[in-house]
Chain A
Amino acid sequence: MAVITYRQALNETLRSELLRDPDVFLMGEEIGIFEGSYKITAGLLKEFGPERVRDTPIAEEGFVGAAIGAAMLGLRPVVEIMTINFSIVALDQIVNHAAKIHTMFGGQSKVPMVIRTPGGGGQQLAATHSQNIEVWYAHVPGLKVVVPSTPADAKGLLAASIRDDDPVMFIEHLALYNTKGEVPEGDYVIPIGKAAVTKEGTDITIVSYSRMAAVALDVAKRLEEDEGVSAEVVDLRSLRPLDRETILASVRKTSKAVILEEDWLSYGVGAEIAATIQEGAFDYLDAPVRRVAAAEIPLPYSKPLELAALPDATALVKVIHETLDATRFRS
């Protein structure tokens, strides 16, 4: 297995899917000549030409709508929206059209498209360019929402998303692009809707996704070494469909759960996970389910303030300790 970055994994997967299926094509702002704002599409225009790697105007609603039309007519567009913040401009196309066409028209047409877009804060891009609004899409039936946290998942889930017949929001993370990891060679597809237990444990469950899943895994490893706490980490990988069974199986084993999410607390992904746990594993809980999330403010530009507002390992460790103490685990 090669060790490559998340960015390389995405780039290579786009390339191999373009090679594998002639119906696959890319579109988005600055993805061709400029090779993408985050260089995910580097080299692809040169290799596949402007027919299959299309630069678009700065008009998200327009090019997302165009991609929906192309998908309905049998192509498999992979759209890049520069960041998830700009997807709001295309919200009507995504929510009212991409998500609903298949059912509203009696199954006459599928919409096999992928919208790739990075979210996340921590880059000093200020309030309007640093959001984690994946839950907006996860709320909508008819969409799939994929949130990979590792280069391997980026590869396997992007391949699965492109080959899926439903519209998929493929949500990357700005802070993950340079992270490295082992990635299987060759054709590698991860089924959408299956969470990963990235570390097994018996004492407490940490549920997370995207960049925070990587933070959670680091914390869990450290707790094991430093304190002998055996934490299990569930990386959701997909918010819709949500792999409730993997979450529940873990909580039934550990009887305690903490959710680490980079979005805002209220109505966030963690609220859905907590509800899932109390509905499906109520009798297994020995402590309240806790959530660690972002401060409920527009994210500040100032670096110290931005750091203070975002959830991190320290905040997670604190809540894990509180949860363990609530069950007398450490006494």
Chain B
Amino acid sequence: MPEVFMPRLSDTMQEGTVSTWTKKVGDRVDKGDILAEIETDKATMELEAYDAGVLERIVVEAGKTVPIGEIIAVIGDGSGAGKGTGTGVPAGEATPAAPAADTPPEPPVSAAPGIPTAQPVAAATAGPTAGNTAAVKASPLARAIARDAGLDLSTVRGSGPGGRIVRADVEAAVAGLRSAPTPASAVSSSAVRSGPDDEELPLNKVRRITARRLVESKQQVPHFYLTRTIDAEELVQARAQINAGLAAITPNGGTASKVSVNDLVVKAVASALRAHPEVNVSFAGDKLIKHNRVHVGIAVSLDDGLIVPVIRDTDTLTVTQISAASTDLATRARAGKLKPDEFTGGTFSVTNLGMFGVDEFSAIINPPEPAILAVGRAKQEAVVRDGQIVARHTMRVTLSVDHRAVDGAGGARFLATLASLLENPFAALA
């Protein structure tokens, strides 16, 4: 009978929540029918049926979260329909026995053999302790090592038969934890405790993933920072002219497109990356991966976290296309409707806090990207120009760079090109 598994819908997904079942037990299902909506770490996606038949059993009810690969429903020929919801996982699998006493149940035959032992031969087992790792396939030894090390088995990839996690996998994962200065403490810090005046807020998935990835980045990626003040006078004026032009060509009653300063920055970044392919790379352990296409991600703040949707082939788009794409992506990101390939695969990110009045800041790189540009607000400042003090718009940008992939001079050259493009915006558009 075909089983429906919790699918892996993104690179970072380790578990998923069934937000709603769109079919109910007993419903006919055709291939391609939408069975359910699955909430992943970053988006809500529809789950299609791969098999036709009758939805015989819903194993994971709406609202429940299970690791990827878990059976969430069963599609059959209809003969087993109507059993309703409920766990389909045998109790024995769902609750692995805690370690039995290490002593054998039967004592060795004593010096007066022939007298049968009165002790019944039975293995004592304690209750479950493993929580959400119960459904993960792992050898008992791997489980024990993970338990001792405080390692969440659902984060470990199994290399044994059928994906079973074995000792080698857990030891590698534990070694990875230990090599980090403060292992995953940002994600699950036991040192921080709430007091009587505090309130504990459980982490939602986006917050959890964001925390984990940022800790990884700050711990593993050697950041350096380059800050530069941009003369943004031309940029601000260019934006005004473009928007005026867009309004002029919009028919009466229509809504004119508008571009933002950030759209122009994204366009300039894409052009600068095209001019500096040595920056459009990823550090991959024993090699650099050079990306031949330019995909710029834009950081979007959500109510409950952060996501970086990616504008594909950014260097080939016009500013209005970039503007339309970024508006669309940000809107759908806030609605939790992004598809996984819309927030993965970026080669560079731009984050902008200018609208909050921030002058300048340093951002954390979004691995495996080599750099992120933090953009401050454009504001009028007194600057010296041709020996005169004049009022001009300026904007400070800070480039955070992965030093393993790009050196200081390389980053500075990229930043110089970017500054030149921003200060001559029509060149950037040309």
Where the two chains meet, the residues of A that have a C-beta atom closer than 8 Å to any C-beta of B are 99, 102-103, 107, 110, 141-142, 144, 165-166, 193, 240-241, 243-245, 248, 255, 276, 279-287, 326-329, 331
Query: CA of A9 to CA of B28 in the docked complex: distance in angstroms?
Result: 76
Cα distance A193–B111 in the bound complex, in angstroms:
11
Compute how far the CA of A144 lies from the CA of B144 in the bound complex, rounded to whole angstroms: 36
Q: Which residues of A sit under 8 angstroms from B115, Cβ to Cβ? A: 102-103, 107
CB pair A282 B140 closer than 8 Å: yes
Known contacts A166-B114, A327-B160; decide if A255 and B102 are in contact (CB<8 Å): no
- Evaluate whether A328 and B104 lie within 8 angstroms (CB atoms) in the complex, with A193-B109, A282-B140, A285-B140 already known: no
Interface positions of B from 330 to 349, Cβ below 8 Å from A: none
Partner of A287, one of B99, B104, B166: B166
Whether A166 pairs with B113 at a CB distance below 8 angstroms is yes
Given A103-B114, A142-B116, A286:B104 Cβ within 8 A: no
B104 lies within 8 A of A248 (CB): yes
Q: Which residues of chain B are within 8 angstroms of A279 by Cβ–Cβ distance?
A: 100, 104-105, 123
Query: A240: which of B97, B109, B167 is its contact (CB, 8 Å)?
Result: B109
For A142, what are the chain B residues with a Cβ–Cβ distance below 8 Å? 113-114, 116
Contacts of A144 in B (CB 8 A): 109, 113
| B106, B113, B140, B167: most-surrounded residue (chain A CB, <10 A) | B113
Asked, given contacts A282-B99, A284-B141, whether A327 binds B168 with beta carbons under 8 Å apart, the answer is yes
Q: Chain B CB within 10 Å — which of A107, A285, A286, A327 has the most? A: A286
27 A-B pairs in the complex with CB atoms less than 8 angstroms apart: A99-B114, A103-B115, A107-B115, A110-B114, A141-B116, A141-B117, A166-B113, A166-B114, A241-B109, A241-B113, A248-B102, A279-B123, A280-B101, A280-B103, A280-B104, A282-B99, A282-B100, A284-B140, A285-B139, A285-B141, A286-B141, A287-B160, A326-B160, A326-B166, A327-B168, A328-B159, A328-B169
**Bound complex: CA of A283 vs CA of B101, how far in Å?**
10
**A129 → chain B, closest Cβ, in Å?**
31
Distance A103 CA – B114 CA, assembled complex (angstroms): 6
Give complex CA distance A241, B113 in Å.
9
Asked if A286 and B102 make an inter-chain contact with CB atoms under 8 angstroms apart, the answer reads: no
Besides the known contacts A193-B108, A286-B141, 10 further A-B residue pairs in the complex with CB atoms under 8 A apart: A107-B115, A141-B117, A243-B108, A244-B108, A279-B123, A280-B103, A283-B143, A283-B144, A287-B139, A327-B166
Say yes or no: A283 contacts B140, CB within 8 Å.
yes
B116 contact from A103, A193, A276, A328, Cβ within 8 A: A103
Residues of B within 8 A of A280 (CB): 100-104
Across the interface, name the chain B residue whose C-beta is closest to A164: B113
Q: Say which residue of A103, A276, A327, A329 sits within 8 Å of B139 (CB atoms).
A: A327
- What is the total of A-B residue contacts with beta carbons within 8 Å? 86
Chain B proximity of A144: nearest CB distance (Å): 7
CB distance from B96 to the nearest CB of A (A): 9
Partner of B114 from the list A102, A245, A282, A326 (CB cut-off 8 Å) is: A102
A281 — nearest CB in chain B belongs to which residue?
A: B102
Closest Cβ of chain A to B54, distance in Å, is 35
Tell me whether A245 and B139 are in contact (CB under 8 A).
Answer: no
Does B421 reach chain A (CB closer than 8 Å)?
no
Q: How far is the CA of A276 from the CA of B123 in the complex (A)?
A: 10
Q: Which residues of the partner chain A approach B109 to less than 8 Å between Cβ atoms?
A: 144, 193, 240-241
- Tell yes or no: B142 within 8 A of A by CB: yes
Q: Complex: how many Å from CA A245 to CA B142? A: 22
CA of A255 to CA of B171, assembled, Å = 14
Task: Tell me the minimal C-beta distance from A16 to chain B in angstroms.
Answer: 24
In the bound assembly, the distance between CA atoms of A296 and B100 in angstroms comes to 32
Say if the beta carbon of B258 comes within 8 Å of chain A: no
Q: How far is the CB of A287 from chain B (nearest CB, A)?
A: 6
Please, what's the 1-or-0 string for B83-103, where 1 marks a CB less than 8 Å from any CB in chain A? Answer: 000000000000001011111
- What residue in chain A is nearest B162 (Cβ atoms)? A326
For residue B160, which residues in chain A have a CB less than 8 angstroms away from its CB?
287, 326-328
Q: Are B104 and A244 in contact (CB under 8 A)?
A: yes
Q: Roughly how many angstroms separate A107 CA and B114 CA in the complex, as a whole number?
A: 9
**Taking CB as reference atom, which chain B residue is nearest A166?**
B113
Chain B, range 102-141, C-beta contacts under 8 Å to A: 102-106, 108-109, 113-117, 123, 139-141
In the assembled complex, the Cα of A241 lies from the Cα of B114 at a distance in Å of: 11
B166 lies within 8 A of A276 (CB):
no
- On chain A, the residues within 8 Å of B166 by CB distance are 286-287, 326-328
**Nearest chain A CB to B147 CB, angstrom units:** 9
CA distance A228 to B109 in the complex (A): 38
B274 an interface residue at 8 Å Cβ cutoff? no
Kindly report which residue of chain A lies nearest to residue B142, judged by CB atoms: A286
Chain B residues lying within 8 Å of A244, measured Cβ to Cβ, are: 104, 106, 108
- B11 nearest CB across to chain A (Å): 24
B99 surroundings in chain A (CB, below 8 A): 282-283
A328 to B117, CA, bound (A): 42
> What mask results when residues 141 to 164 of chain B are scored 1 for a CB within 8 Å of chain A, else 0?
111100000000000000111001
